[in-house]
Structure 1
Amino acid sequence: MRLLRPRPLDLGPFFETLAERDSPTVVRLSRPLDLAPESGREWTVPQLAELVRETAAALAAAKVRPGDHVAIHKRNHWDYALLAASVARLGAVPALLSSQLPPEALAVLLARLKPKLLLSDRYTLALGVGRPKQRTVCLDGPAPGATDLATLRGGRIPPVHPRRDDDPLVVIHTSGTTGVPKLVLHSTTSLVRRITGFEAHRWPVTSVRPEDTAASAVSFAHGRGVSWTLSALWGRPRTALLLADPEPELALPLLREHPPTVLEALPATYQQWQPQAGGGAFLRMRLFISTFDAVHPPTVREFLAASGRRHPVWMQGWGQSETGPLTFRFFTRRSLARREQRHPTTRDLGRPVPGWIALRVVDPATGRPVARGVTGVLQARVPGLCQGYPGEPDRWTTKLDGPWFNTGDLGSRSRTGRVRLLDREVDMMPDASCVELEDVLHERLPEVEEAVVLWAGAGRPPLPVLVTRDERLDPGRWRHAVRDLPPLAEPVLLGWEALPRTGTGKVRRHLLRDRYLAGAGAYGSGRWT
C-alpha cells in the first residue's frame, strides 16, 4: 500500500495521485474544456487523470522532450492547469500565456521563451494574434497552419519523467499593467512545496473542506490557476466549479445550479457580478477570496450581505507572481459596516504569516529601512521566491536586495506590523493614495462600477476615470461626493468595455494616462515594475 503524503508533491502526476487517494471530487465546468470539447461539462478525478495521461502521450508524439518549453496560449479556461500537468509529466516546462496579451507583448514573450511547441485553440488562432512562428498544435480541431491534437492521440502513454525539486517546473507571467509582462520561472520547490504546500495544510476557515463546493473564476493562465488547482483539489471538496468566462450570463447559471461555499474570483469579476449578488447564487457562501488587485468596500459588503450564513468571511490576499501570498486580511459584515465620518477601507492588508513571510519598508531613494508608519517601497523575504525572469536576468537582479525582493508596491507598516498598501510605485502621486481615493468614490457613488484616479502632472488636479453603466453621472452627485476630497478634475466617463485591462482584470493605467494625459508621464520612477 502506498503511503499518502500530507501535501501535493508533484504537478505532473498530480491527478493520478488524487485518483489513487480515491478523491470523490466532481468537477463541473461553465463550458466544456477546449482540450476536450466533446466530453461535456462534468468530470471525475479518474477521468481527469486519464485525460492528462492521454494528452501527455499526444505531446510526446509531437516530439516534446524533457527540458523543452511548451507555450500555452488560448482562451481562458481551467484546461491551462490540465495542460500544464500534461507537459510537466513529460519533464518539459509549460509556459502559460494569457490570451489577453496584446500582440506585441505576446511576440516579445515568445521570443524570450523560444518554445518547442505552442498549444492553442481555434478561437485564438482565428484572431491571428501575432501569427506565431512556432510549431503549433490546435487543441480543439483543425486550424490553418496548426497540427490537430486529435491526429497525435492514441500513442503509448509515457511514464512520469522524474524531476528534481529545484529544476524549472513552470513559467507564468505577471499581469503586465505597465506594458510587456515579466516571465516568472518557478520550480517544484517554490510553487508546489512552499507556496501551494503551505496553503494545502488544514487551516481554520481558509482551507477547502470535504463538504465544500469550491469555485474558481480567475485567469487560469496565471500562476494562481495552478496553485489553486493543487491546493483546492487536495482538500477533496465534494464539488469543484470552474468558471471560464466572467460575464454574469455565462458564469452565474452554474453558481445558481450548484451554490458554492468557497469562491475565489478576480476583483473585476466580483464587480461585474455585484448587481446580481442577491440572486441566490451566493446564499451558501462561507468564504469569499479575492486576489490580484484592490477590491473596494461596497463590493465586499454586497457579497457578504448576499450570504445566508450567520458569519461569512471575506479573505483578501496580497501577493505577487514571484512570491506567492504575502499577507491576508479578513473582512466581516461588522468590520465593513458604515459609520458616521468613517470610510471603511480595504487598504489595510493585515499582517504577514509569522515565521513564514518577512516584510520591510524601505526608502525608494536610498533603499534603507524606514520607521513604522512611514511610507516607502515594500520588500519581502519569502521561502517560495521564484527563480528569476527568463530572458531578463538584469531586470531580475534589480529587484533583489540581498535576501529581499522588491515588490514595487508603496505602503507602510503600523506599530503592530499591519500593512497599509497605497499604490504601485509607478502609479503613485504625491501626498495621496490613488487607491484610497478610489475606495471613497466607490463608497459614495454606488452607480460607479470602476473608479481609476490618475496623477495628471505637477500643477494639475488628478484625473478620475469612471465606469458607469450608461456612461453618465449626475453632476450634483459628483460635486457632493468630492466635496471634502483633494481637488480632482472633471471625471472622464466610460463604459465597462472601454476600460483597458489585463488578463487578471487589472486596469492598464499607463494606457489611460497616454490616452487622456498625453505628455504627463508618471510621478513614480517605475524602477521596480
Structure 2
Amino acid sequence: MPFTKPIHLGTLFDDLASRGSGTALHLSRPLDIDPSRGVELDVPGAAELVTEAAGWFAAAGVRPGDRVAIAKRNHWDYVLLSCAAARLGAVPASLSAHLEPQALETLLKRLEPALLVTDTALLEAARESGAGPSAHAARTLVLDSPPGVYGPDLLGLDDVRGSAAPPPRRPHLDAPLAIMHTSGTTGVPKLVVHSTRTLMRRLAGFESHRWPVLGSRPSDTVTGAFSFAHGRALAWSAGVLWLSPAALSVITGPDWDEAGPMLHRYRPTTLEAQPSTYVRWRPRAQERGHPFGRVRLYISTFDALHPTTARTFLDATGRRAPVWMQGWGQSETGPLTFRFLTRRALARSGERHPTTRDLGRPVPTRTRLRAVDPRTLRPVPPGTPGLLFCRTDALCLGYVGEEERWRSKLVGDWWNTGDLGTISRTGAVRLVDREVDSLPEGSCLEVEDVVDDRLPQVLECVVLSVPGGPPVPVVVTADGHLDADAWRKAVADLPPLAEPVVTTWDGVPCTATGKVRRAVLRDRLGLRPDSCGTGRWT
C-alpha cells in the first residue's frame, strides 16, 4: 500500500481500488451522471466514472488551474465530479442547487469557471427568476440534456462522451484544491478555498484513522444523508472509504419515501445526517419496526442539535451503549470541537441545563480556542462569554472574490468564528449564539433547546432577536397549531418573549444543509432586517 492516508483527491478512487477496497456503495437513487448504473456500485466502478468524467471535462476545454463549478440536484456524484476535475489539475467548486438563483449567479461571477456542470431543472428555475448562470461560465455541461439543445457553449453529455482523460495531475500541497460555499444563512454564501494539505491531509486524514468509537469498522454500514454539495462530503467520503467498511450508503434527501426504504434495506450501524433531517425522521424513530436498531454511532454536524432529537435516536437503537458524536466547526476550519453524548448525559429533560450546547473540547493536538471581548479582542476570563477564536492547521486559504472579508476575520494566526461562547478552565466549550443572532440578555439557542425539550409537539423553534423589543419565537409544528396554555407554561421561567409565530416546515426557509435562513424569515414576518448583533464577522 503506497501510503496510509488519503492524499490525492483526483485519484482517490483509483487509490482505493488499488488497495483492494471491497466496500459496497448503495444509492437511494441512481447517479445523475450515469443513471444506467442503477443503485448499486463498487469502488472500481466509481473510479471508472471519475476517469470518464475527467474525459468529459477535458473535451469541454477544462485545463489545469481552471475552475469547474458544479451545481445540480443533491447526490453523491458531487464527490465523483469533484474528483474528476481535480484529476485534471482543475479546481472543483461545489454549489448547491438549493441556492437562490441570484445568489448562485453572484457566486458564479466570482468564480468565473471554465465549465459549469448543471442540469436542466436548475437552468430553467434560474431563467424563470431572470438569472442566467450559464452566462458566467466559458462553457456549460448539462447532464440531462440532449446534445445541441441550447447552443454551442451549452453541451450535453453526448457531446463529450468517449473522450480519453489525460494522465492525472497532482497539485502542490498548498495550492487550491477545492472550493465550497458556506451555508448562507445571513445572505450570499462565501466561497471557501481549501488545499490538499487542509482538506485531504488535515480533515480527511484525521477521519481515516481507526479511532475508538469514531473510526469506521470493517463490519459497518456507514450511512450519510446530507447535502453532498457541502465540503463535508469530500472529507467524509475519503475518510470513511479509506477504512473500508462493509458498505457506504447514500441518501439524497430527508423525504421518507426515499429514505425509509433505504434505511430498512441497509440498516446503518453509523449514521451521519443534518440536524434538520434527524428532526424530520424523529417521529419515525419512535415507530415500531423502525430501521435504527443497529446504530452504534450517530454523527451530526452543520448546525445546532436539540437534546430531544439526540435522546430519541439514542433510545431507538438496540445497542447497549450507543453514542452521539456532536461536532462544532465551520467550512473554513473543519471540526474544532467534538463531544460524545450518551443516554445518561441526556437523561435530564425539561430543565435549563445546556446539554447539546456543551460542545466538548478542542480536537487534541489540532485545534486551539480562546474567547475574547468582542470590542477589545482581548481574552476574557474562563467561563465568561466571548467571541470564539481558533487556531488550526486546517484553516482554509481564503474566500474567492472577498479577500478583504477573509483578512478581516484573521487576527495574527487566530481565526474569528463569529460564534459567542464560553471556555471553562478545563477547556470545555459552551455555545451561546452566533454573534449576528445574539440577544442583549440570554441566548437564542437556550430558548430554542428548552422549548423543544418541554413541548413534544414542537418540531423546531427559531428565536429571532429584535432590537428594542422582545425576541420573536417561530415555532414549527406538524399541523401549524400550538396549545397556548402549554406554551405559556413552558416559557414561564425564560426571558420575556413575543407571542409565538406558529407555522409548519413549509413556512421556514432553509439552506441546503437545513439551517434556517434567518434573514429571509425576518423579511417574511415583516421584522426589521437588523438583529441585536453587529454581524461584523459573518
Structures share fold, TM-score greater than 0.5: yes
Conserved? CA contact 1:211–1:237, under 8 Å: yes
> How big is the shift at 1:518?
2.8
Q: Offset at 1:148? A: 0.8
Query: Partners in 1 of 2:318 and 2:403 — Cα distance?
Result: 50
Tell me how far apart the structure 1 counterparts of residues 24 and 237 of structure 2 sit (CA, whole Å).
13
Q: CA deviation at 1:342?
A: 5.8
What do the CA deviations read for 1:442-468 (whole angstroms, capped 9, x no partner)? 00111111100111221x221100111
Structure 1 Cα separation of the partners of residues 403 and 492 of structure 2: 48
Specify the SS of the correspondent of 1:88: helix
Aligned: 1:45 with 2:43: yes
- CA–CA distance in structure 1, aligned partners of residues 411 and 318 of structure 2: 47
1:506 CA drift (Å): 0.4
Alignment of 1:468 with 2:477, yes or no, is yes
d(CA) in 1 for partners of 2:158, 2:341: 48
Distance 2:24 2:351 in 1: 48
Distance 2:141 2:529 in 1: 44
| Corresponding residue number in structure 1 for 2:65 | 67
Q: Percent identity?
A: 56
1:338 is displaced (CA, Å) by 2.2
Amino acid corresponding to residue 77 of structure 2 in structure 1: D
2:314–2:324 contact (8 Å) kept in structure 1: yes
Indicate the residue corresponding to 1:76 in structure 2.
74
Write the deviation string for residues 376-435 of structure 1: whole angstroms up to 9, x where unpaired: 110000011100001111000101000000000010111211000011100001121101
C-alpha distance after superposition, 1:250-286 (max 9, x if no partner): 1121011110001110000000111101442111000
Aligned equivalents of 1:340 and 1:138: distance in 2?
Answer: 51
Question: 2:533 maps to what in 1?
Answer: 524
- One of 79, 89, 99 as aligned partner of 1:91: 89
| Corresponding residue of 1:361 | 371
- Residue 27 of structure 2 aligns with which residue? 29
Greater mean deviation of Cα atoms: 485-494 or 144-153: 144-153
How large is the Cα RMSD of the aligned pairs? 1.3
| Deviation digits for residues 55-97 of structure 1 (CA, Å, limit 9, x no counterpart) | 1011111111000001000001100000000000000000000
1:314 has 2:315 as partner: no
Match of 1:165 in 2: 173
Deviation at 1:219, TM superposition (A): 0.7
Structure 2 SS opposite 1:64: coil
2:67–2:115 Cα contact (<8 Å) kept: yes
Task: Give me the whole-angstrom Cα distance separating, in 2, the residues matched to 1:319 and 1:340.
Answer: 27
How far apart, in 2, do the equivalents of 1:341 and 1:297 lie?
A: 11
Alignment partner of 1:303 is 2:313: yes
Query: TM-score, length-normalised on structure 2?
Result: 0.96
Name stretches of at least 5 consecutive residues in structure 1 with no aligned partner: none
Q: 2:213 aligns with which of 205, 208, 223?
A: 205
Select which of 512, 517, 527 maps to 2:521.
Answer: 512
Structure 1 counterpart SS, 2:83: helix
Give the match for residue 115 of structure 1.
113
Question: For the Cα contact (< 8 Å) 1:348–1:421, is it kept in 2?
Answer: yes
Q: Which amino acid aligns with 2:69?
A: A
Q: Which moved more, 1:149-158 or 1:209-218?
A: 149-158
The match for 1:266 among 261, 274, 280 is 274
Conserved? CA contact 1:37–1:140, under 8 Å: no
| Contact 1:456–1:520 (CA under 8 A) maintained in structure 2 | no
Letter in 2 for 1:441: V
Shift of 1:138: 1.2
Pairing 1:323–2:327 present:
no
- Contact map agreement 2:352 2:446 (CA 8 A) in 1: no
Correspondence 1:189 to 2:187: no
1:151 aligns with 2:155: no
Q: Secondary structure at the match of 1:71?
A: strand
Which whole-Å CA distance do the structure 2 matches of 1:231 and 1:340 have between them?
Answer: 37
Is 1:485 aligned to residue 486 of structure 2?
A: no
Equivalent residue, structure 1, for 2:506: 497
Give the aligned partner of residue 3 of structure 2: 5
Paired residue for 2:142? 138
Could you say which residue in structure 1 is the equivalent of 2:303? 293
Q: 1:341 to 1:18 in 2, by over 3 A?
A: closer
| Cα deviation code 1:125-167 (max 9, x no counterpart) | 2323522212210113325453111221112231101321111
Partner residue of 1:283 out of 277, 280, 293? 293
What amino acid sits opposite 1:225 in the alignment? A
Provide closer, same or farther for how the CA distance between residues 395 and 342 of structure 1 changes in structure 2, counting only shifts above 3 A: closer
Distance across 1 between alignment mates of 2:272 and 2:39: 20
Structure 2 CA distance for aligned equivalents of residues 334 and 232 of structure 1: 28
SS in 2 for 1:128: helix
Cα distance change of structure 1 residues 449 and 382 upon mapping to structure 2, 3 Å threshold = same
Structure 2 segments unaligned to the other structure (5+ residues): none
Partner of 1:371: 381
The SS at the match of 2:370 is: strand
Q: What is the DSSP-based 3-state SS (H/G/I as helix, E as strand, rest coil) of the residue aligned with 1:96?
A: strand
Structure 1 counterpart SS, 2:356: coil
Q: Which amino acid in structure 1 is aligned with residue 193 of structure 2?
A: L
The 8 Å contact of residues 101 and 125 in structure 2, kept in 1 or not, is answered as no
Moved more, 286-295 or 508-517: 508-517
